[in-house]
Structure 1
Amino acid sequence: MAPVTTWTGQDANALRNALRMSVTAFAEYLGAARRTVAKWSSQGDKVRPRADMQAALDTVLSRATPEVRERFEALRAVGTSGAAVGAARPDGGAHPDTGDDGDGDSDSDGDVRRRDLLRGAAISVAAAPNVAPLLDALCSPAYSEGATSFPQFTRAVGAAKIDYQACRYERVLDRLVTLLPSLEPVKSGADGDQRPRVEVLAADLYHVVGSVLLKVGDHGMALVAAERSTRAAARSQDPVAIAASARIMTHALMGNGHDAQAVALAGNAADSLDRDTRLASTDAVAVYGALVLRGAIAAARRDDRDTAHAMLDEATRAATRLGYDGNDRWTGFGATNVLLHRINIALTLGDAGTAIAIARTVPLDKVTLAERRASLYVDVARAYTQWGRYEHGLSALRTAYEVAPEEIRCRPAVQRIAGDLAMLANGSVRTAAVDFAHDAGIRL
């Protein structure tokens, strides 16, 4: 393995992820301030750690196991490869280094190389036993021999979306492993009028793939899926589909530590959607609002409060224009969804008290999607844990588990909260937190 000549924030973040450490744990391990490590994560290659931290990072890497070093190399490759850089273009186009020659075909050889690099970086989770077959289907699919009609494929992609929003991830993975090999035969059998609609379905399909991979912590391959979604949407020439694919790309960029690029992409894609459609349909308004919300979260992660709150206000205006809490184009967007994002952003900005206060105003009867409801309780658990109210944090985590067990077992973020509760709480609460984690299948 080649030595790191000069550490950047991006390299340090890759090492942290390779070690499977939270920002707090990595800061303690290095003897650094948590804010310093968070800055490395948010600013990436724009920041260089101090000389003493350079030496500390050298030491940590030199003592790492071969498995950790392999993951570190894989994650560095994601951070500096054409995949990540190309994904960051605000217009959603491919970077010249991605191997996209303009004909819309994916660089399958590059995908295979990335797959081989990134396998070691994927988090193994009991709730997601079929992730490896999904990676195979994504990077080197064997085309399905059975004929799948366009209506059948449409229904199957919709069913995958429904299962994802219901947090039935094992079922989603099974569906995706079957759907990906069916995509090319469906494209081949489509007539002229159907081809753009098939590309929209392809964009939706890869959107689900990327979303699931983000859930289980495989951020590198989620970026590959997001690229595929972007390309398919561009071929469809459907402005709403293009904007919807930008949403998963924004999320994937954030997962790989490119928060500034995510803010730019979300803002530019939302502006393009507004310009191209005048937000004349409910689908356009919902996708616009959802895009702005993702940009707000990315801005908060950069500690850019002004941009985060400006985007939240813009999302509020979009929700008012929409006039209801719905699920248009699978966004789950509406005024209640904006409230959920306000909670997450308050947490990200370090204001647990504000997050809890907002959470108390959420009309739970309007949070109809299991994924969103479980995420709400996870955020509440995180807020109470940050606030030192560990018993309340554990109670919220238990409620989240009741709503969506696979969501709780699957998400690395939940593992970190459960670990914090088990480490920081005292007495009976600590014992209860450990017992809950064991019963829920959460690895501490």
Structure 2
Amino acid sequence: MRRRTLLTAAGLSIPLSLLQRLDDALAVPPQPLRSAEPAQIAQMLRAARQRFDGSELSGLIATLPGLLASSLEAAERADTPTGWALVSAAHGLATDTLNKVGRKDSARITAERAVFYAARSGDSVATAAAARALGMMLRIQGRPDLAAAVMSRGIDQLTATGLRTTAQADMHLRLLCARAYTHAWGGDESRALEGIAEAEQAAARIPAMAPTAVPFARLYRANIAYALGDPRTALHAARDLRDGMYPTPERRGRLRTDLARFYWQWGKPEQTTAALLEAYRHAPAEVRDRPSIRRIAAELVERHPRVAGVRQLAEAISRPPVTV
């Protein structure tokens, strides 16, 4: 039975050939089919982010090798700050995507490259975004203190700008949340709670940002409680969060998978199942293609086969691989 669970948990719907192609592209970047100008690279990057936001992971992974190669070729040819910032952003998106589907070693590579290219750009937002990406991977790899230090440097660099633009303020908030979460996984409850309180204040400070920023920070507060091993507090913190507060399918799916994690930590299989089915309704890849969430689903199928909705969940995670 355990072997079947492990096999089910490993069976992502993303073809292995796509993942291998992306891994290969990190070792030997493919030659772009044609040269592209910065405006075209920016358009490609926007399209890729839309796929990420739409939780279209197979299609996104299929396009990432070309995006990484084209952005690098364009930056090397033009050698402008904008070009290098776009290369860094492409690698940051690759980091988030690879991390989501469990390719941690590859995600660490793209995070480090995002930092390198951001430094060449000199752009404060690119530098901070890259710090978030690298800090995330350091935390996942068991280095929370170093991760927090990397994020703190990014926060300090952004703060020095005066946070005059929405992009700077938004990235500042994201880093504050990520650092607080990192402190929680490092077992530092005091700094985690102080950090998320600071993030919540930052979220409410700019009225134009507040409708999306406040729910973003509040979900981080809930996840901090989860990281500290307190699922009841996590669910209490998330009690007022609703799907409509999150603008993309990926974010709505993440809300529901986070709630599922809280319920699962508390030992509530019925509520866990319901949350995963809701997540699947918004963004199937959040359940099928995130190994940590797929494992919860597979364990539900094994341990609680008679819980309402578990059979439907089993069918969802057993769908055949998609083709791109």
Tell me the TM-score normalised to structure 1 length.
0.66
SS at 1:334 equivalent = helix
Corresponding residue for 1:380? Answer: 259
Corresponding residue for 1:429? Answer: 307
Corresponding residue for 2:57? Answer: 169
CA distance in 1, matches of 2:294, 2:50: 25
2:323 corresponds to 1:439? no
Q: Which runs of 5+ in 2 are unaligned?
A: none
Q: 1:395 to 1:145 in 2, by over 3 A?
A: closer
Q: 1:396 to 1:407 in 2, by over 3 A?
A: same
Q: Is the 8 A contact 2:243 2:255 kept in 1?
A: no
Deviating beyond 4 angstroms after TM superposition, the runs of 4 or more aligned structure 1 residues are: none
CA distance in 2, matches of 1:184, 1:240: 19
Q: Is the 8 A contact 1:220 1:256 kept in 2?
A: no
Q: 1:261 to 1:402 in 2, by over 3 A?
A: same
Query: Which of 156, 165, 168 is the matching residue for 1:281?
Result: 165
CA distance in 1, matches of 2:76, 2:231: 52
Corresponding residue for 1:417? Answer: 296
RMSD between aligned alpha carbons?
2.3
Deviations 1:309-339 (A, max 9, x none): 111011112111222447xxxxx96111001
CA distance in 1, matches of 2:93, 2:11: 19
Corresponding residue for 2:39? Answer: 151
Q: 1:325 to 1:419 in 2, by over 3 A?
A: farther
2:14 corresponds to 1:127? yes
Q: Is the 8 A contact 1:324 1:334 kept in 2?
A: no
Q: 1:350 to 1:420 in 2, by over 3 A?
A: farther
2:187 corresponds to 1:303? yes
What pairs with 1:40-439 in structure 2 (closer than 5 Å)?
125-129=12-16, 130-190=18-78, 195-275=80-160, 277-325=161-209, 334-425=213-304, 428-429=306-307, 432-433=309-310, 435-439=312-316
| Larger RCO: 1 or 2 (CA < 8 Å, sep 6+) | 2
CA distance in 2, matches of 1:347, 1:337: 16
User: Which residue identity does 1:253 align to in structure 2?
Assistant: L
Q: Is the 8 A contact 1:210 1:248 kept in 2?
A: yes
* Structure 1, 123-132 or 246-255: larger mean CA deviation: 123-132
CA distance in 2, matches of 1:174, 1:220: 19
Q: 1:177 to 1:251 in 2, by over 3 A?
A: same
Q: Is the 8 A contact 2:115 2:127 kept in 1?
A: yes
User: Which residue identity does 1:428 align to in structure 2?
Assistant: R
CA distance in 2, matches of 1:220, 1:422: 29
- Using the TM superposition, give the Cα deviation of residue 180 of structure 1 relative to its aligned residue in structure 2, in angstroms: 2.1
Deviations 1:266-287 (A, max 9, x none): 1222022102x01121111111
Q: 1:242 to 1:188 in 2, by over 3 A?
A: closer
- Using the TM superposition, give the Cα deviation of residue 170 of structure 1 relative to its aligned residue in structure 2, in angstroms: 1.1
CA distance in 2, matches of 1:285, 1:184: 27
The structure number with the bigger radius of gyration is: 1
- Using the TM superposition, give the Cα deviation of residue 161 of structure 1 relative to its aligned residue in structure 2, in angstroms: 1.3
- Using the TM superposition, give the Cα deviation of residue 172 of structure 1 relative to its aligned residue in structure 2, in angstroms: 0.8
CA distance in 1, matches of 2:33, 2:278: 44
Q: Is the 8 A contact 1:247 1:294 kept in 2?
A: yes
Q: Is the 8 A contact 1:293 1:315 kept in 2?
A: yes
User: Which residue identity does 2:292 align to in structure 1?
Assistant: A
CA distance in 2, matches of 1:320, 1:138: 39
- Using the TM superposition, give the Cα deviation of residue 435 of structure 1 relative to its aligned residue in structure 2, in angstroms: 4.8
Deviations 1:285-323 (A, max 9, x none): 111110111111111111211111111011112111222
Instruction: Give the fraction of aligned pairs with identical amino acids, expressed as a percent.
Output: 30
CA distance in 2, matches of 1:257, 1:125: 25
CA distance in 1, matches of 2:237, 2:54: 24
Q: Is the 8 A contact 2:38 2:82 kept in 1?
A: no
CA distance in 2, matches of 1:128, 1:273: 39
CA distance in 2, matches of 1:197, 1:314: 31
Paired residue total: 312
Q: Which runs of 5+ in 1 are unaligned?
A: 1-19, 26-122, 327-331
CA distance in 1, matches of 2:291, 2:165: 36
Q: Is the 8 A contact 2:128 2:171 kept in 1?
A: yes
What pairs with 1:3-22 in structure 2 (closer than 5 Å)?
none
CA distance in 2, matches of 1:350, 1:290: 22
SS at 1:429 equivalent = coil
